[in-house]
A and B are shown apart, each in its own frame.
Chain A
């Protein structure tokens, strides 16, 4: 069979295009989806009790160390407002700002390469850095502004509840363990016996920007003392 140079090149080109197309569209966590498709029994969430938080930033330090987060960027921040009240009886309020692990995550929806995904087995919104091209669509789309480009890998990064660094070893996220006042509670929303579910049923909580339809899984227990803020 005679194959011209032109035909040969066409064939090889089509083959390469097909192969790369398959590579891009393939599910980012192909191995984990099949196992968890039936009934995912885990849906991780976190509660930040703003009454217990003292704003010490031990969570930030622990996260930085465990997840090798370089200076200048951060997976978790504690926003401080105040002082409230008159000296010497002054107080501050603290609020955790980190990935909310939205059920309807805007970052996942806009990601053109499938690098941002929701791990179906755990409900964790994660980043596959091998697929991330650093286009920053997710950073623009995230209404909570918790994503950043990692200065070393040049890919998008954010809190993943320490999925890779600690959950895999059966440990709680670094911030939860580091918190001196037990202001952070991590657990499985689907387990009615978990401390997380018990806490959420015992105390009123709120979530940030629910009106955007993001269905976030970071819960806050609002500060009780002090004046009413408008």
Chain B
């Protein structure tokens, strides 16, 4: 016969609590995933994520970057959009990327991140959805020419 001491009682309760929270988070994740799938129902062509951000370990969902569905696709959509037509400011768009990425680490890998931090949005150079980000395959000449493209002083 086991005797339930206060110590074991505490252990049991905490184990139960942990199990419950685990279950709950799993269920919310499942719900999120369901929501993400519902995006793909309409966005079959432009919704597919194929790059490194699509790797299963990251488990990135549409709403992680684009925000909750809200009233979309009806009027008054509050979704985050990226690219040249985005209503968000460059800083707002960058902020979304920085929820996962560390600006210091980015600056160490590529110094040009630091000098454009509040001037450009990440999406003005990087592309997440395609299989390869155009910025990752630049050689030194292409890298230089990318700078020249914007910084060229008119004669």
Q: State whether these chains interact.
A: yes
* Residues on A facing B (Cβ under 8 Å): 54-58, 60-61, 80, 82-83, 87-92, 178, 180-182
Q: Which residue of B lies closest to A90 (CB)?
A: B114
Chain A residues closer than 8 Å to B144, beta-carbon distance: 56-58, 60-61
Chain A residues closer than 8 Å to B141, beta-carbon distance: 61
> Are A181 and B104 neighbours in the complex by a CB distance under 8 Å?
no
> Are B148 and A56 neighbours in the complex by a CB distance under 8 Å?
yes
Q: Taking the nearest CB of chain A, how far is it from the CB of B105, in angstroms?
A: 12
> Are B104 and A87 neighbours in the complex by a CB distance under 8 Å?
yes
Candidates A58, A82, A88; contact of B148 at CB < 8 Å: A58
Docked pose: A181 CA to B148 CA in angstroms: 8
> Are B117 and A90 neighbours in the complex by a CB distance under 8 Å?
yes
> Are A88 and B103 neighbours in the complex by a CB distance under 8 Å?
yes
Chain B residues closer than 8 Å to A92, beta-carbon distance: 111, 114-115
Chain B residues closer than 8 Å to A91, beta-carbon distance: 115
> Are A180 and B117 neighbours in the complex by a CB distance under 8 Å?
no
> Are A89 and B151 neighbours in the complex by a CB distance under 8 Å?
no
Chain A residues closer than 8 Å to B153, beta-carbon distance: 180-182
* Residues on B facing A (Cβ under 8 Å): 103-104, 107, 111, 114-115, 117-118, 140-141, 143-145, 147-148, 151-153
Q: By DSSP majority rule, is chain A's interface helix, strand, loop, or mixed?
A: loop
Q: Which residue of B lies closest to A178 (CB)?
A: B148
Candidates A58, A60, A88, A182; contact of B145 at CB < 8 Å: A58
Docked pose: A56 CA to B147 CA in angstroms: 6
Docked pose: A180 CA to B147 CA in angstroms: 8
Chain B residues closer than 8 Å to A56, beta-carbon distance: 144, 147-148, 151
Q: Which residue of B lies closest to A59 (CB)?
A: B144
Given contacts A61-B144, A89-B118, whether A54 and B111 have CB atoms under 8 Å apart is no
Chain B residues closer than 8 Å to A57, beta-carbon distance: 140, 143-144, 147
Q: Taking the nearest CB of chain A, how far is it from the CB of B113, in angstroms?
A: 9
Docked pose: A37 CA to B45 CA in angstroms: 74
